[in-house]
Amino acid sequence: MKKRILITGGAGFIGSHVVKLFVEKYPEYSIVNLDALTYAGNLENLKEVEGAPNYQFEKVDIQDAEALDAVFSKHKITDVIHLAAESHVDRSISDPLAFVKTNVIGTVNLLNAAKKAWGEELDQHLFYHVSTDEVYGSLHDGGFFLETTPYDPQSPYSASKAASDHFVRAYANTYKMKTVISNCSNNYGPNHFPEKLIPLCINNIKNMRPLPVYGKGENVRDWLFVKDHARAIDTVFHKGKPGETYNIGGFNEWKNIDIVRLLCKKMDEKLGREPGTSEQLITFVKDRAGHDLRYAIDATKIQKELSWEPSLQFEEGIDLTIDWYLQNQDWLDHVTSGSYQDYYREHYES
């Protein structure tokens, strides 16, 4: 059966890299990108594939169950890779309900649409849910997140993603839907919306604006280049065992303050500034409420069982990322105009 894959959230940061990888690598598949184009969705992320014969776009909100049914029947969808979500922890703290609506209800709507469309042949189709390591909570005493680590979400964002993961597993158990889940650590790279730490700092360093570091900057994240995550999603989609979970990570832990300093150093070099110029922009600000201390992934299972591993060293990926932002001023101008200004003022200046 020819694969006609529905990728949700394909106009966002990670989704756009997944769409581009699938459209370019698998001309024999049909790829349907479904996205509501919220503040985080941007068709400019997909310029490379917009005219491709195996690519189509549907502007649909996953909160709209009827519209989802229509997309499944119009495109005879055979498989789903689900990335659409509200994704920013800070926004989840000020508006948790938006995260319930999209991440929980939206995911259940999508599961229902798939179940209805695939009927008696559920075992011939795959529902792949893309999730986060934040569902495991916060590490305080060393150690790593394993696939068997109990869920312990701490923010409204991670609680909503944990709920959606549980629903996917419940559909596998109850209705025998063929599902797979991956939980990945923090991504960085081109097309990352500048509300998240790395692109926000790149944009602010460029414009000589303050770099807001929450608390003391001691919190630790594991970082993975977005194209390596897209490669992992390709691997799990094609080789993952149904019913399984795969942790995806970069084997690359950094304290926030060290990342911000690295960005300052590299951008001083690239912009021809005196060494130390950008570091003066670092500003310690009020900590995030309930700020998770450390995320660290043990990605041995995907490495051993599916032969995936990150291809880029962090400093190499950071160079590529900074260069992309410096070369794509139009993209930055578009995404930082309008509502971004309001968000920034409300979150950082009030």
Q: Which residue has the tokens 């060494």?
A: 275
Binding of residue 219 to ligand TYD (CB under 6 A): yes
Residue ranges that bind ligand NAD, judged by CB under 6 A: 9, 11-15, 35-38, 40-41, 61-63, 83-87, 102, 106, 130-132, 161, 184, 186-187, 193
Give 36's contacts (C-beta < 8 A, 6+ positions apart): 59, 60, 61, 62, 84
Q: In the complex, what is the shortest distance from the CB of residue 241 to ligand NAD, in angstroms, rounded to a whole number?
A: 20
110 vs 278, which CB is nearer to ligand NAD? 110
Q: In the complex, what is the shortest distance from the CB of residue 85 to ligand NAD, in angstroms, rounded to a whole number?
A: 3
Q: In the complex, what is the shortest distance from the CB of residue 268 to ligand NAD, in angstroms, rounded to a whole number?
A: 26
Alpha carbon distance 262, 188 (integer Å): 14
Q: Is 164 left (phi over 0), alpha (psi -120 to 50) or beta?
A: alpha
Which of 3, 101, 196, 261 forms a contact with ligand TYD (CB under 6 A)? Answer: 196
147 vs 222, which CB is nearer to ligand TYD? 222
Per the structure block, which two tokens stand in for 2? 């020819």
Alpha carbon distance 302, 135 (integer Å): 18
131 vs 321, which CB is nearer to ligand NAD? 131
41 vs 199, which CB is nearer to ligand TYD? 199
Rounded to the nearest angstrom, the gap between the alpha carbon of residue 313 and the centroid of all alpha carbons in its chain is 19
Q: Is 183 left (phi over 0), alpha (psi -120 to 50) or beta?
A: beta
15 binds, among ligand TYD, ligand NAD, none (CB under 5 to 8 A by kind): ligand NAD
Is residue 46 within 8 A of residue 71, CB to CB? The reply is no
Q: In the complex, what is the shortest distance from the CB of residue 88 to ligand TYD, in angstroms, rounded to a whole number?
A: 6
Name the segment binding ligand TYD (CB under 6 A); options: 69-77, 78-86, 211-219, 308-316.
211-219
Q: In the complex, what is the shortest distance from the CB of residue 133 to ligand TYD, in angstroms, rounded to a whole number?
A: 9
Binding of residue 89 to ligand TYD (CB under 6 A): yes
40 vs 60, which CB is nearer to ligand TYD? 40
Binding of residue 212 to ligand TYD (CB under 6 A): yes
200 binds, among ligand TYD, ligand NAD, none (CB under 5 to 8 A by kind): ligand TYD
Q: Which residue has the tokens 């897209």?
A: 230
Rounded to the nearest angstrom, the gap between the alpha carbon of residue 169 and the centroid of all alpha carbons in its chain is 20
131 vs 219, which CB is nearer to ligand TYD? 219
Which of 221, 229, 231, 266 forms a contact with ligand TYD (CB under 6 A)? Answer: 221
Q: In the complex, what is the shortest distance from the CB of residue 336 to ligand NAD, in angstroms, rounded to a whole number?
A: 15
Which of 200, 232, 236, 322 forms a contact with ligand TYD (CB under 6 A)? Answer: 200
- Residues with catalytic function: 133-134, 157
Which of 179, 186, 191, 303 forms a contact with ligand TYD (CB under 6 A)? Answer: 186
Residues in contact with ligand TYD by the rule CB under 6 A:
89, 186, 196-197, 200, 212-214, 219, 221, 256, 288
